[in-house]
Structure 1
C-alpha cells in the first residue's frame, strides 16, 4: 500500500470529484524523480493549469516506487535459464536491473511514462477501494 496523508487523500478526492469521477481525465502534468522521491503533478485534462504550482502535487517515496516497478515486472522479462548444478533449462523472470536503476538508465521514455501512470492508477485505485471498504464498516 502507498502511504498517503489525510490532507493528500482529501485533495485527491476533490480532484476526482472535479473530473466527475472520470479517472481518465486525470493526467500527469509534470514529474520529477530524485533519489528519495518521485513527484507527480496532477491535473484535469480538460482544465489545464498554467503552472505546476496550480496542480496537485503527489509525492511517492522511491522505495514505494521501486515496489510498484518490481510488482508490475517493468524491470524484468520472461526468459529461460540454465540451472548451474543440475543442467536443466527452466522458465523464470530475468531482472534487467534493480527497479530504480532500471527506471533511470534502462527504461525508454515510454516505459518511464508507463511506470509513472501505473503509480497514478495504483494511488487512485487504493484511494477508492479503502474509502469503499471504510464506508461498509459503518
Structure 2
C-alpha cells in the first residue's frame, strides 16, 4: 500500500504498485510529480554516511521537499518555447533527475503537440529518443507516471 506522508489521498489515477518498493515519489500540493528517487540507493548511501534508517528516510523526504519544479512545469516550458533546444535540455535534465520515470508520459505529450512546435520533425525525434531510452531502461508505461 503506498504511503502518503501528508495524510491526504494520492493524486487521482495514481497507481504506484509497480514502483512502491523501489522508488520514492514526491508530489507537490497540486498533485504534480516533482521528483523520483531510487529508495534502495538513497537509503543505503545515507546509512553508509552514518544515519539510522528512520533518519535516512526523513532526510530523503527533506531533500525531495526542496524540489519545487514538477515534470509538468518542464513539459509546459517545452511547449511554450516551441520545442527549443534549451527547453529540450531542461526537460531531459528533469527526466534524468527522476531516473527517467515519466518518460512515456512525455513521449505522448510531445507527439500530441508536435505539429504546434517550431520543428515538428525535431519534436518527433525528441519523443522517439525519450521512448528509446524508456524502453532501454524498461520504464513501465503507466498513465500516472
For the superposition of Structure 1 and Structure 2, which TM-score range results when normalised by the shorter chain? under 0.3
TM-score by length of 2: 0.26
Greater RCO structure (CA 8 Å; 6+ sep): 2
Give the structure with the higher percent helix: 2
Q: Which has the higher strand share?
A: 1
